């Protein structure tokens, strides 16, 4: 029997779902190298490889066989060939711009553990999709709002979530689209550098975000009476501010979000929250002229009466802080921990922290590869984001269902 690759699901799976990979028809204890390849929408190539040895029966099941040293990873890692994908172009990030088309994953099995690999024994293709059949993607241009709405299949009402990304501008749909597959009406919301929104805002007005909240609450398929917010980095900060100042916010999940206003002042009605002071002299420069901005922001808890702190004690929402212990953009774990101490001192119990070792600033849905060094949107230079491959992969897989369960719990109340 010629070697062949067996996948489950066979031809197509959602990007945040596990993919079972096995090879059959090998010789007893035959050494092989498995390689995965994927091109993003710009044509950039990502690859991972791992060395394995088939069992006595010529079968190789990645759920049972550990990878041997010498590849992109080692040990028992059934999804390693996906989370270990690395760009051929240094510092390139895997992102999905058009969520309506899948990524095409190539899998190959080669003879032996050589470098370069030996003879090709088997190959297969698999689609990694972002939208389940029946999920609808609807561009939103209502009033000032610039966004994309994702509706789960069917005519029921569903919990509603606004997904807000970090500094860097534009509109990112990959996380919102994946959430919609799990039964949430999600609104991926842009707030600058997109279409006719400001290119370089000197302030951000919460009235814009309030308009998005009202849009969601008026949608016939959004189950009220409140909505959820999922924010990453600056988006986490904005989500906390929305919960402090706006009505009808029931649950907020912040992914490595500051708890004070940073870099762009925040305004609501006649109130302005000024930005935290930054000390650029505290910037460190790592190897190859790469910035480390971890110590640049002043500690918002050291200055009594700091005007930049978001008055989150006003929020009635449930709060979930998801933080990476190796975040090099700012001290996100410290921010979340100190804020929760303040809330606790005021007798509040509406918060929870999930803290992940070996995890940097970016926390994506499962199986997105780590992006440890990226382009800093403020300093326009490469900067350390942090994280370690294996630890980050485990954090993603743990955090994603926790986020969904959090929203299911608090947005499905009567």
Angle at alpha carbon of residue 131, lines to 126 and 133, rounded to 5°: 90
Selected catalytic residue, list 163, 326, 327, 364: 327
DSSP conformation letters of 130-167? SS-TT-EEEEE-STT--EEEEE-SSSS-EEEEEEE--T
> CA 174, 176, 178, 183: dihedral to nearest 10 degrees?
-170
Surface-to-core class of residue 273, CB atoms within 10 Å of its CB (0-12 exposed, 13-18 middle, 19+ buried): buried
Contacts of 116 (CB under 8 A, 6+ apart): none
Region for 367 from its dihedrals, namely left if φ exceeds 0, alpha if ψ lies in -120 to 50, beta otherwise? left
Cα distance between residue 326 and residue 324, in whole Å: 5
**20 by DSSP, 3-state: which?**
strand
**329 by DSSP, 3-state: which?**
coil
Selected catalytic residue, list 49, 72, 172, 233: 233
Selected catalytic residue, list 113, 126, 361, 376: 361
Catalytic site includes residue 113: no
Strands of 256-317, DSSP E: 266-268, 271-273, 284-286, 290-292
Catalytic site includes residue 13: no
Taking alpha carbons only, the member of 282, 165, 169, 274 closest to residue 230 is: 165
- Number of alpha carbons in the 13 Å side-chain half-sphere of residue 104: 6
Catalytic site includes residue 133: no
- Copy the structure tokens of residue 272: 């302005």
Q: What is the DSSP letter of 314?
A: G
Rg of the chain over all Cα atoms, to the nearest angstrom: 23
Residues with catalytic roles: 233, 327, 361
């Amino acid at each position: 029997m010629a070697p062949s690759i067996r996948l489950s699901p066979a031809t197509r799976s959602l990007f945040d779902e596990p993919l079972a990979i096995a090879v059959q028809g090998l010789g007893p204890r035959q050494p092989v190298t498995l390689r995965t390849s994927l091109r993003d929408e710009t044509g950039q190539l990502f690859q991972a490889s791992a060395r394995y040895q088939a069992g006595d029966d010529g079968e190789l099941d990645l759920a049972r066989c550990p990878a041997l040293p010498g590849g992109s990873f080692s040990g028992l890692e059934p999804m390693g060939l996906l989370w270990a994908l690395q760009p051929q172009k240094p510092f390139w990030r895997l992102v999905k711009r058009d969520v309506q088309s899948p990524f095409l994953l190539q899998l190959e099995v080669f003879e032996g553990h050589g470098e370069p690999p030996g003879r090709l024994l088997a190959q297969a293709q698999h689609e990694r999709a972002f939208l389940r059949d029946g999920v609808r993607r609807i561009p939103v241009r209502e009033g000032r709002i610039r966004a994309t709405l994702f509706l789960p299949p069917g005519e029921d009402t569903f919990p509603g979530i606004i997904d807000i990304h970090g500094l860097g501008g534009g509109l990112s749909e990959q996380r919102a689209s994946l959430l919609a597959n799990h039964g949430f009406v999600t609104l991926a919301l842009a707030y600058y550098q997109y279409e006719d929104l400001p290119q370089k805002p000197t302030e951000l007005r919460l009235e814009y975000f309030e308009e998005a909240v009202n849009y969601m609450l008026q949608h016939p398929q959004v189950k009220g009476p409140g909505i959820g917010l999922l924010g990453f980095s600056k988006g986490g900060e904005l989500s906390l501010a929305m919960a402090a100042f706006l009505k009808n916010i029931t649950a907020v999940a912040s992914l490595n979000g500051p708890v004070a206003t940073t870099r762009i002042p925040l305004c609501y009605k006649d109130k302005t929250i000024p930005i935290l002071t930054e000390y650029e002299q505290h910037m460190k420069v790592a190897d190859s002229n790469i910035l480390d901005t971890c110590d640049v922001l002043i500690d918002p808890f050291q200055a009594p009466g700091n005007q930049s702190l978001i008055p989150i004690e006003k929020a009635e929402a449930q709060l979930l802080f998801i933080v990476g212990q190796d975040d090099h953009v700012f001290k996100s774990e410290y921010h979340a921990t100190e804020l929760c101490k303040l809330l606790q001192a005021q007798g509040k119990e509406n918060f929870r922290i999930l803290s992940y070792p070996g995890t940097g600033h970016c926390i994506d849905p499962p199986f997105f590869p780590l992006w440890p060094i990226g382009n800093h949107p403020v300093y326009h230079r490469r900067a350390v984001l942090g994280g370690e491959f294996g630890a980050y992969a485990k954090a993603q897989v743990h955090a994603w269902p926790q986020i969904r369960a959090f929203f299911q719990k608090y947005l499905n109340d009567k």
